[in-house]
Each structure stands twice: as C-alpha cells, then as structure tokens.
Chains A and B, each alone.
Chain A
Amino acid sequence: EPEVTQTPSHQVTQMGQEVILRCVPISNHLYFYWYRQILGQKVEFLVSFYNNEISEKSEIFDDQFSVERPDGSNFTLKIRSTKLEDSAMYFCASTGGPSDRHGYTFGSGTRLTVV
C-alpha cells in the first residue's frame, strides 16, 4: 500500500537553529499538508499546499515556517529559528484531490525536540 514517508523520525536541535523536516508524499497525490502534535495535545493543522503554492495556513504557521516542494517528490517544512515551543511531532499528509474521499494518508511523523 502506498505510504507517506517522513525523515528523520527524530531530530534534536538547539534553540535558534534552523531545521528542515522532509516528506515524500504518495506519488499521484496532489494536496500536501503539515500538521503538528504537541505532546498530550490535539493534532493541529499548519499548512496545505497545492499546485506549488500554499492554499491555506493556520495562525500557527507564522514567518518562521516555510514549505517547499523542491522537486517532484519531496515536500519540506522549514523552521527558520526554532523555539522551545516548537517541540512537537510533525506529521506530513497527502490526498489525491476532491474525488479522493478516503481521507488523508499520514506519515509516521518526525519528533522534533528543541533544547
């Protein structure tokens, strides 16, 4: 079964450093997303991406965050200057489009720890 792949599975970074989280969505999917889950809290939407541009973003997704699809397969989330409160599990997801009613396919997540 097709999978969404995320790397790394766990990243530890110092406060103020830049991090890039990587995702490979399912190859024929068109919509890509990042969500995050702070420990013990809800899974929260960050950003959606379609047709090489951001289609929607939440208020969490401020200027410190950016997304990119640098080639035909990768989808990245960059945090420019990490803060302690960015520590969370970050999930990438993709869907096939309006006719894809089977919901999102999520990756296994990247656990980001900012120290």
Chain B
Amino acid sequence: GEDVEQSLFLSVREGDSSVINCTYTDSSSTYLYWYKQEPGAGLQLLTYIFSNMDMKQDQRLTVLLNKKDKHLSLRIADTQTGDSAIYFCAESIRANTPLVFGKGTRLSVIA
C-alpha cells in the first residue's frame, strides 16, 4: 500500500536553514503537501507541489521534488523559534482522494 516516511526529529539553531525530508512509495502520487502542526492545534497547510513540478518557492519555504527517487523535501530558510512544530508530509493521487500522511518530523529551533 501507499506509505510516506519521514525522519522523526530535527534540531536547528535559530537563523539556520532547516531541511525536512520525506519519501513516498506511490508513483501515481500527484499532489504532495506539507502541513504544520503546532502543539494542541490542527493541521495547517504550508505549501503543496504537483508531481509535474521540480521545485516551488514560497517566501522562506522551498519544496524540492525528485520524482524519480520519490523524494520530497521542505527547506525553511532563516528558521525562527516560531517554526518549532511537527511537519507532516502528505500525498494524494487526485485533488479529493484521501491524504496519506507521514508520521511527522518534530522540528526544534534552538535560540
């Protein structure tokens, strides 16, 4: 079945860049998303990328997609303490099909 894998923890210093990685198994995944979850809160959509794209940039966020290796990454430039959260990678085959999530990467930003 479909699976999405992420490393569980990442710790960076304030001001550095963070790179969160994700791999997925379903080659027919069309939509790939990054969600952020702050403590006790819901899932906030950060950004998304379509499978026909290699890169997407949105302010401090850069998403890179290597479709051949089924590898997705999220880079956060100039990481701030407010970026501390759990980041979930998710994929779906079509716009309204169920999302398959990774376990989430807990990002800790050290001041």
Q: Residues of A with Cβ closer than 8 Å to B?
A: 4, 6, 31, 33, 35, 41-45, 48, 50, 56, 58, 91, 93, 95, 97-109
Contact = CB atoms under 8 A, between A and B. Distances in A.
A77 to B, nearest CB: 15
Contacts, number: 63
A98 B96 contact: yes
B52 interface: no
Interface residues of B, number: 23
A17 to B, nearest CB: 24
Given A41-B103, A103-B33, A98 B43 contact: no
B95 A108 contact: no
A56 B97 contact: yes
Contacts of B102: 42
A108 B96 contact: no
A45 B45 contact: no
Q: List the 5 shortest-distance A-B pairs measured between CB atoms, nearest first.
A: A45-B98, A108-B42, A106-B43, A43-B101, A103-B45
A104 B101 contact: no
